[in-house]
Structure 1
Amino acid sequence: MLETETVLDRRRLRRSVSLWRAAGLAALLIALGAVFLSGDKLATLAGEKQIARVTIEGTITEDRDQLKMLKDIADDNSVSGVLLFINSPGGTTTGGEALYEGIRTLAQKKPVVAQFGTVAASAAYIAGLATDHIVARGNSITGSVGVIVQWPEVVQLLDKIGVKMNEIKSGPLKASPSPFEPLDDASKKVAEGMVADGFKWFVGLVETRRGVKAADIPGLLEGRIFSGREALEAKLVDQLGGEDDAVNWLKEKKNVPQTAKVTDWKPGNTGTYGFAGMSAGIVGWLFGSAAGDAANFLLRDRMISTLGLDGLLSVWHPSEK
């Protein structure tokens, strides 16, 4: 009799353990689903109408993951409108161009509104130009329409430390301008031509998209910055306000459903910043979203400062002069 009860107890224990294992596996699958199915994908699966919020921040470069995300948003039937939050001083001119084209392609399928944060200047303003409507804070910094190319010249420094650079190149303009030789007239002319060509393109975007004459806006052709209020007066933005105002514009002017919820969309963690993004995600999972955001900021900005930027730049930053 005792042996029978012992066998029955063991069977009940095994069943209980099996149930707990099944529950644990289910919880793990749910957790993994929550990790891999971000808010945008969950909303898509649920069939709910949404406003996709895309954040453009930091230094703008040509980001393939970001451009793919814009295409995904365009093809997602659950997305009724797009809110582009921009908080960036700009970046490479080519990066701004690629982002502009991606947003314009998206805007052919979905209404897109931009909301400017603290700064949306230069290449970041190019992104704003691609949208259907621009909302800026009164004290947002925007404008800085222009193109710049920079390089150091270390000829005198090398002379002082006794270092001589030798090179053999196929032509006098190859690898020029160079930090290892004084700028000659021919190289200067080529660089000035590239800057002028990029600037002409940028100004053309402003005039076409904003319906203004650049020459009629004091300081615009000189690359000045504007506050949100000044930009509104110059017709460089459409409205003063914040996210609520941008969302209301989508719902009132573009027939986005009143029930549509704002959902964050983020590009995949692959490409140049994949390791940084993955590391920040792990930190956020372990220690909370605030820690994850801080890690993402530190890792990505550190990588940008280490790699540097090359080519034509459309970026604004305070000068020491």
Structure 2
Amino acid sequence: MTQTSPVETVLDRRQLRRKLTRWRLVAVGLAVIAILVAVGRFGGDVGSLTPHIARIEISGLITGDRDTLKLIKSIDESKATAVLVQVSSPGGTVTGSEHIFDELRRIAQKRPVVAVVDTMAASGGYIVALGADHIVADGNSLIGSIGVLFQIPNVSKLLDTVGVKVETIKSSPLKAAPNGLEPTSDAARAAIDALVVDSYSWFKTVVKERRTLNDAQLAAVSDGRVFTGRQGMDLKLIDEFGGEREAVAWLERERGVAKGLPVKEYKKSTVGKPFNLFSAAASIAGLAGGEHFERLASQIENVQGQAGLDGLLAIWHVGRDQ
């Protein structure tokens, strides 16, 4: 019978201890992955699992991009008791604004929605605000600009000046018209005008229904101009002066939202992106000694597309709508 020396016994114990430590790290890592997956299914972080007021920001040019719509839809999977929409936008595409409006109205079927106008909610920004049950704005916030426009630069005269002529072969006279490379025909102008009038009619209908205006009141606010919050109060375009504090107080007072609930901000950077199990596993493998696997995972890059503007616009232009 071979006896193990004390030195070998110590070495064996150290080697066993290293193996146990490595496997413990792997187990801990897998547990972290499981928690992250569970959290990701409920809105992006642990705060989404407890009652709160969800805050989303709609700012800048509105395109109704996929990430923004996913952000709003994610509230349905959370424990949000109410939604606070912070709007600071001059508008954007009519379709993009409509998409956000529709999503907010769907959310409002389950929980109250209040809009807080920061610097402005003009054109498409005001369409977004109309998706809320209550609109709060500062006295100097800009609101309104109820209207639709279609713009295209026409360089036909410039091309004539430099002696350039663009030859176009198309199936019918109104195909791709107007295009800015030739004078706009009366028929093309009439076709685009019909689109603008139709979208404008939809915009006015939304304002009339959401703000409970009669025809005279609607006519007074729908000529494309912007108003201050103070003017908008008299014209029934907003409901209350203030900011987030007043919006939360309205939720508590009028909609029975529990007092003292935390306001949790939802951001596009943390919602709607798939959980990268490969990268997480690579990190765990790195802790367990899999350095080559970790280096491979570090080479993975996420590519995001950029949204562009297309179609009719509901946007406020200084010196044009005003």
TM range (shorter): 0.7 to 0.9
Please, what is the CA RMSD of the aligned residues? 3.2
**Equivalent of residue 53 in structure 2, options 51, 54, 59:** 51
Q: What amino acid is the match of 1:236?
A: L
Cα distance change on mapping 1:319 and 1:28 into 2, 3 Å: farther
Asked whether the equivalents of residues 49 and 259 of structure 1 are also in contact (C-alpha less than 8 Å), the reply is no
Structure 1 residues 1-321: aligned runs within 5 Å = 4-5=6-7, 7-8=9-10, 11-12=13-14, 15=17, 18-19=20-21, 22-23=24-25, 26=28, 30=32, 37=39, 40-43=43-46, 46=49, 48-76=50-78, 78-213=79-214, 215-216=216-217, 220-267=221-268, 268=271, 303=306, 307=308, 309-319=309-319
- Partner-residue secondary structure (3-state), 2:222: helix
CA shift for structure 1 position 188? 1.2
CA spacing shift, 1:93–1:51, aligned 2, 3 Å: same
Identity among equivalent positions (%) equals 38
**1:65 Cα deviation after fit:** 3.7
Amino acid at match of 2:45: L
How many residues are paired up? 288
Question: Does the C-alpha gap of structure 1 residues 184 and 63 become closer, same or farther in structure 2, counting only changes over 3 Å?
Answer: same
| Shift of residue 90, structure 1, vs aligned partner | 0.8
Tell me: CA distance 1:14–1:160, structure 2 relative to 1, closer, same or farther (3 Å).
farther
Cα distance, 1:150 vs. partner? 0.3
CA displacement at 1:259 relative to structure 2: 4.0
Q: 1:174 to 1:44 in 2, by over 3 A?
A: same
Counterpart code for 1:191: I
Partner of 1:281: none
Report the CA distance between 1:73 and its aligned residue.
2.0
- For the Cα contact (< 8 Å) 2:63–2:92, is it kept in 1? yes
Question: CA, structure 1 residues 270+185, in 2 after alignment: closer, same or farther (shift >3 Å)?
Answer: farther
- Aligned partner of 1:60: which letter? I
Verify the 8 A CA contact 1:70 1:102 in the aligned structure 2: yes
| 1:205-236 superposed Cα distances (whole Å, 9 cap, x missing partner) | 11111112364368623211111121112110
Per the alignment, in what secondary structure is the counterpart of residue 103 of structure 1?
A: helix
CA shift at 1:247, angstroms? 1.3
CA–CA separation in structure 2 for the residues paired with 1:233 and 1:140: 14
Alignment partners' CA distance in 2, 1:152 and 1:86 = 30
User: Structure 2: which amino acid aligns with 1:148?
Assistant: L
1:60-80 deviation per Cα after TM superposition (whole angstroms, max 9, x unaligned):
12333433443342354x221
Q: 2:278 matched to which residue of 1?
A: none
Q: Which amino acid aligns with 2:6?
A: T
In 2 relative to 1, CA 163–22 (structure 1 residues): closer, same or farther, beyond 3 Å?
farther
Q: Structure 2 length normalisation: TM-score? A: 0.77
**Deviation per residue, 1:158-207 (Å, 9 max, x gap):** 22333221111121111111111101211111111211111111111111
Displacement of 1:257 in angstroms is: 1.7
Contact 2:43–2:75, Cα closer than 8 Å, also in 1: no
Shift of residue 7 of structure 1?
Answer: 4.1
> Residues 134 and 15 from structure 1, CA distance in 2 versus in 1: closer, same or farther, beyond 3 angstroms?
same
Structure showing greater Rg: 2
Distance 2:154 2:245 in 1: 48
Higher helix content, 1 or 2: 1
In structure 1, what is the Cα distance between the partners aligned to 2:138 and 2:48? 34
